[in-house]
Amino acid sequence: MARKTSKIPDHLNTALPIEKRVESLVARMTLEEKVSQMVHTAPAIERLGVAEHNWWNECLHGVARAGRATVFPQAMGMAASFNDSLLNKVAAVISDEARAKHHAAARLGNRNMYFGLTYWTPNINIFRDPRWGRGQETYGECPHLTARMGVAFIKGLQGNHPKYLKLVATAKHFAVHSGPEPLRHRFDAVVNQRDLRETYLPHFKAAVQEGKVHSVMGAYNRTNGEPCCGSRTLLQKILRDEWGFDGYVVSDCWAIKDFHEGHGVTKTPLESAAMAVREGCDLNCGCLFLKLVESVRSGLISETEVDRNLKRLMTARMKLGMFDPEKNVPWSGLKPSIVNCDKHRRLAHRMAQESMVLLKNNGILPLKKDAMNYGVIGPNSFSVPALLGNYNGFSPNLKTIAEGVMGKVSEGTQVVVSKGCELTGESPISLGDFCGRTRDFADAVIAVVGYTAEVEGEEGAIAGCDGDRHDYGLPGKQMELLKKIKEIGKPLVVVCTGGSPVDLTWAQENADAVIMAWYPGEQGGNAVADVLFGDYNPAGRLPITFPKSYDQLPPFEDYAMKGRTYRFSEAEPLYRFGFGLSYTSFKYGGLKLSKKSIRADETVAVSVDVKNTGRRAGDEVVQLYVSDVNASVPVPRVHLEGFKRVNLKPGEKKTVKFTLKPAQLACYDDDGNPMVEPGDFRISAGGGQPDDPHAGAVTAILKVK
């Protein structure tokens, strides 16, 4: 009698196409099992070989909330590098650490939150208003910069293997979402079609079509009346039908219950769950989708619709290798020892260096390492939260700014450190004997002030605060502290931490130098010290505009772009988008267009020469801007369409090349349709915006026939 052979179930047969494997798996599930896999805490289905999986993981600037990891600068700081290729390397390191931690945890039977392979990163919302507390998570206010940084990050996370995804990246929060935080569960972000297509969607489109992002997270709010996690317009018509997205959509956490509790578009949890699935949301961060069993049985939605959405989720898990032998998956052999290894820390150090933005320098910087005495004062001098930002990991190698300074100076140099005041609140300033000692012999005082994620961030994440920034100035007594330090009469260097614009008007007028350090990650203290003492020549650029005051801004709840960001504001800012100083100087010339006149469907090549005219080697961020001179509809006054970070030795000249495609010259009609109109386009290249006197920009006119 012949021995019976056990047939491998189709969904576990690696020789079959993924589509067939997924079909087989879903067909074997009961309705209850199907629904159980559509919430973020998906349980195991042992009879089918489905492992437990928690979909919720974070890695904005390093693997977050999962123990030890390399902590890179917060996203806004990395955007200030204007270096998408470096960001791609950062994301690849993050994905290495995520894979190593996942496989180590799985071998221990640990399937808990933050150890999975599906990451809810990057946040590519446009930072349209500096009052939004979550702006630190974004790449700033420019759709082009956000698109380029977002695509680079997504590719670094997901990898380029022909069969497997390294991780799943998630572009969030789709779409038209940037505060106010306290209103997000009931707010309707009303936006016209021109602003929608010109500002709020281009970077998401790039994430889908160029980055091939496999997941998109819907926003809490409504957009033009539809809840974003159940919007037929956003999720079906635009994302899937127009852009060809073939991944899955996840809701923001507990956003589905907002349908009936906050937005009032449904009346019951059953209706909310059914609406979300029907309109294209596949995964519920939360537990409301467990109501789908009852929704199906009550006729609110069909099991076929549930199957459609579930297949998208199971396709992702198949592509991650979750149903394949571990040895088949390319990254299963990554050793845990790579987590926060020396190589990764060096990359964090480099990214922190490239993120530093020098806003003012009257010649005091760089400081001398062998001075007699330096004072380091301010609530963020020894602050670990000032390094981390939000959605952060933890490292045993954190270097605060005071530690960075002490590690940089000579052994004969004294560093006097004082907190000076609390981060927030009205507790009195306490200088102790700092003032007298510093007045006697200090060479300079380094004031480390600003924000931490303890006072700006997400709604509900900060005790006693809604997350948003309602005051543009420095928190607590910090402004008073700066004025008292100024009275000492020594050179004053202000180092500001934060994830969004800060009113630095006083510092710009009274300090000798100002540095924006953002939330610079585990090597932030070393990177700040590198800039202070000249071991690194700063070249970071602002990815956001610093207004002079909130009075220059439209109302926070108004999502119209008029008057917002460098693209549409006519007001003179404190610091421009794209601005940043160096310890050397650069000169631009030789701007050339491959054609001076083109048809609307043609591409044009642009080249410009940049020369280091100073005495130090350094990076320069070459920026390409476009202005539509003859538009018949409202257009941005200027918009970034190219950038490249280049290193130049003293006296060295390089030619930097860009390509302008028709889409980069487009304007939008009232219905949001793109068009390239005949007329003149002003093409500018330099170290910043064309109207920035520090940028040295050169300009040419391109004619479109």
Average pLDDT value for residue range 418-424: 95
Cβ(594)–Cβ(627) below 8 Å: no
Per-residue pLDDT reduced to its tens digit, 372-399: 899 999 999 999 999 999 999 999 999 9
Active site residue: 58, 137, 282, 456, which one? 456
Looking only at the bridges linking them, the beta strands covering 215-218 and 222-223 are: unpaired
What DSSP character marks residue 251? P
What type of residue sits at position 343?
K
* 261 a catalytic residue: no
Cα–Cα distance measured from residue 384 to residue 452, given in angstroms and rounded to the nearest whole number: 9
pTM for this entry: 0.97
Both structure tokens of 668: 């939008």
State the architecture of 586-704 in CATH terms.
Sandwich (2.60)
Average pLDDT value for residue range 96-106: 97
Name the percent of the chain in helix, strand, coil, to the closest 5. 30, 20, 50
- Say which residues have a Cβ less than 8 Å from residue 200's Cβ, sequence separation at least 6: 126, 175, 176, 191
Question: What's the CATH code, domain 355-568?
Answer: 3.40.50.1700
What is 584-600 written as a DSSP string? S-EEEEEEEES-SEE-T
What type of residue sits at position 252?
D
Partners of 589 in beta bridges: 609
Does residue 3 have a pLDDT over 60? Answer: no
Cα–Cα distance measured from residue 581 to residue 508, given in angstroms and rounded to the nearest whole number: 13
| Predicted pLDDT at 433 | 65
Average pLDDT value for residue range 645-653: 98
| Predicted pLDDT at 2 | 46
Per residue, the 3-state secondary structure of 339-400, as one string, reads CCCHHHHHHHHHHHHHHCEEEEECCCCCCCCCCCEEEEECCCCCCCHHHHCCCCCECCCCCC
Cα–Cα distance measured from residue 135 to residue 650, given in angstroms and rounded to the nearest whole number: 37
Per residue, the 3-state secondary structure of 495-524, as one string, reads EEECCCCCCCHHHHHHCCEEEECCCCCCCH
- Asked if residue 520 has a cis previous peptide bond (ω within 30° of 0), the answer is no
Both structure tokens of 296: 């199906």
Percent of the chain with pLDDT over 70: 98
Looking only at the bridges linking them, the beta strands covering 618-628 and 679-686 are: antiparallel
- Say which residues have a Cβ less than 8 Å from residue 268's Cβ, sequence separation at least 6: 260
| Predicted pLDDT at 642 | 98
Number of H helices, E strands in the chain: 19, 24
Query: Which stretch of 2-11, 340-349, 513-522, 654-663 has the lowest confidence by average pLDDT?
Result: 2-11
What DSSP character marks residue 289? G
Average pLDDT value for residue range 119-124: 98
Neighbours of 34 (CB within 10 A): 22
Q: Which of 518, 458, 545, 413 is nearest to 72 (CA)?
A: 518
CA dihedral angle for residue 382, residue 383, residue 384, residue 390, rounded to 10 degrees: -160
Residue 441 vs residue 155, higher pLDDT: 155
Residues constituting the chain: 705
| Predicted pLDDT at 439 | 64
From residue 36, alpha-carbon distances to 43, 109, 164, 550 in Å are 7, 20, 25, 47
- Say which residues have a Cβ less than 8 Å from residue 322's Cβ, sequence separation at least 6: 51, 53, 117
Cα Rg of the chain, angstroms: 26
Cα–Cα distance measured from residue 153 to residue 245, given in angstroms and rounded to the nearest whole number: 18
Res. 440 pLDDT band, cuts 50 70 90: low
Residue 413 vs residue 437, higher pLDDT: 413
| Predicted pLDDT at 463 | 81
Does residue 1 have a pLDDT over 80? Answer: no
Cα–Cα distance measured from residue 71 to residue 524, given in angstroms and rounded to the nearest whole number: 10
Active site residue: 58, 84, 97, 252, which one? 252
Partners of 189 in beta bridges: 223
Per-residue pLDDT reduced to its tens digit, 22-35: 999 999 999 999 99
- Does the domain at residues 17-50+171-319 carry the CATH identifier 3.40.50.1100? no
Partners of 606 in beta bridges: 593, 658
| Predicted pLDDT at 6 | 64
Per-residue pLDDT reduced to its tens digit, 284-305: 999 999 999 999 999 999 999 9
| Predicted pLDDT at 666 | 98
Per-residue pLDDT reduced to its tens digit, 55-81: 999 999 999 999 999 999 999 999 999
What DSSP character marks residue 533? T
| Predicted pLDDT at 442 | 76
Three-state DSSP at 464 gives coil
Longest Cα pair distance anywhere in the chain, in angstroms? 101
| Predicted pLDDT at 178 | 97
Per-residue pLDDT reduced to its tens digit, 553-595: 999 999 999 999 999 999 999 999 999 999 999 999 999 999 9
* 641 a catalytic residue: no
| Predicted pLDDT at 105 | 96
Helix axis angle, 84-107 to 342-355, nearest 10°: 140
Per-residue pLDDT reduced to its tens digit, 202-261: 999 999 999 999 999 999 999 999 999 999 999 999 999 999 999 999 999 999 999 999
Cβ(358)–Cβ(496) below 8 Å: no
Angle, alpha carbons 275-284-238 (nearest 5°): 60
What does the mean pLDDT of the chain come to? 96
Cα–Cα distance measured from residue 535 to residue 232, given in angstroms and rounded to the nearest whole number: 53
* Distance, CA of 72 to chain centre: 12
Does residue 8 have a pLDDT over 80? Answer: yes
Sign of CA dihedral 313, 165, 286, 53: positive
Res. 161 pLDDT band, cuts 50 70 90: very high
**Fold identical between 17-50+171-319 and 586-704?**
no
Q: Any idea where the domains of the chain sit in the sequence?
A: 17-50+171-319, 355-568, 586-704
Does residue 4 have a pLDDT over 60? Answer: no
From residue 211, alpha-carbon distances to 92, 161, 214, 547 in Å are 14, 14, 9, 32
Per-residue pLDDT reduced to its tens digit, 478-516: 999 999 999 989 999 999 999 999 999 999 999 999 999
Cβ(149)–Cβ(91) below 8 Å: no
